Amino acid sequence: MNVTEAKLVCPDFDPVRNPEGKTTCRYILPDDMCRLPSHFDCDLVRFVKKPPISVSMTRVSGWMFCERAWAFRYVYRVDPPKIAPWKVLGKAFALCRAKIDAGQPWEMPAEVTGIDRLRLEVVLEEYTKLPRMAAKSEVRCQVVLESPPPVVSLIGFADGISDDGKRLYEWKYAANPDDYTRLKVSLQASAYFAGFPRAEEVVICVARKPKLERLLATPAEDRKYTQEKVKKCEPCHGKGIVNEVPCQLCAGVGKNMEPPRLYANQREKDETDQEFKARVRASVGSSSFFTFKTFLRTDFDVEGSLALMRRVHLRTVEASVWKVFDPNTSRCGDCDYEDVCASHVQGPGCTEPECSHPTICAQIRLVNGKAKP
């Protein structure tokens, strides 16, 4: 630890050389005590004994989403029985986008399949055509939430930052860009503004998720065809003669029979991948797959948001000690662990012989100290 880092831990650190030639603090006493009554114990020694703690925006927002779901992930360390499709797509978009920004080859993750794969491929192919906005991508952001030892730091990564450090970029993959209001992005934006003091604005960039479905062949029993009819021959304009010779298309009659055809909105074959992707591009028309909304630093209560995230962290620490995590049943439809809670009236961690999720319940009992390894 150098002098600058020591001063971050203890602003009262006053470096001097001890008889052995090593840098130490002017106020340190035997037994790692401090001369200053405001400290009593040496903060640097306490810091070494209790190293910094790092939390992420995901952990903070996860607790606010549902305490029990947070505990499944961060306390009991159990994988969710199911993962929401939008999370899979969002992760795939972020991964491929980062590779494109880095100038690396990209390919769709194997877990993205079917129509979702085709939609995302179109969006990413269009993304490659965008001019480069950020000078740097995947920029580490670190904010101190608690400075007395142990230090608690909030850590995240901004998707991009401008060369002068005044503009931040955050990408989303969503069906409705209007969902990202000032309130919804307040915690994330506040963390970025706290971590990048020079930043004046953050741009929420949304890649719009297409909603189109593949067109399928009409069942044979439901197909309807037009009547066969006679129409004028176009090459000869119904005259039967072209350049003074009989028209070869109508054999000089001037008329052709139009064969029956399917009515509009009916198909004999499924739409191919390329046809579907072309229709997705056409559906956007003169607009764009991407929208950009700029928020200013003054749009957010940065210090208030940091204080909120600090309180959330303290709640997670207390709840982890007592192993008490309340469910938020109003968010069950969006939760990856819904099936677990739905099948456990008194909460997961049961010993029932017919348990729907025995592995998860066994892990919960083990962490809670109610089972042997």
CATH of the domain at 332: 3.90.320.10
Q: Looking at the structure, do residues 188 and 41 belong to the same domain, yes or no?
A: no
Q: Looking at the structure, do residues 130 and 13 belong to the same domain, yes or no?
A: no
Mean pLDDT, all residues of the chain = 91
Q: Looking at the structure, do residues 189 and 155 belong to the same domain, yes or no?
A: yes
Summarised one tens digit per residue, pLDDT across range 67-98 is 999 999 999 999 999 888 999 999 999 999 99
Summarised one tens digit per residue, pLDDT across range 9-37 is 788 888 998 888 888 898 888 788 888 87
Q: Which residues of the chain have pLDDT under 50?
A: 373
Alpha-helix residue ranges (DSSP H) falling in the chain:
3-9, 43-49, 57-65, 67-74, 85-101, 114-127, 186-195, 273-284, 302-322, 338-342, 358-367
Q: Looking at the structure, do residues 143 and 168 belong to the same domain, yes or no?
A: yes
| Straight-line distance from the first to the last Cα atom of the chain, in angstroms, rounded to the nearest whole number | 39
The Cα 61–Cα 314 span in angstroms is: 14
Number of structural domains in the chain: 2
Summarised one tens digit per residue, pLDDT across range 146-183 is 877 678 899 999 999 999 999 999 999 999 999 999 99
Q: Looking at the structure, do residues 35 and 60 belong to the same domain, yes or no?
A: no
Given this model, what pLDDT does residue 373 score? 47
Q: Residue 66 belongs to what domain range? A: 55-210+289-342
Given this model, what pLDDT does residue 41 score? 80
Q: Are strands 229-232 and 255-258 parallel, antiparallel or unpaired?
A: antiparallel
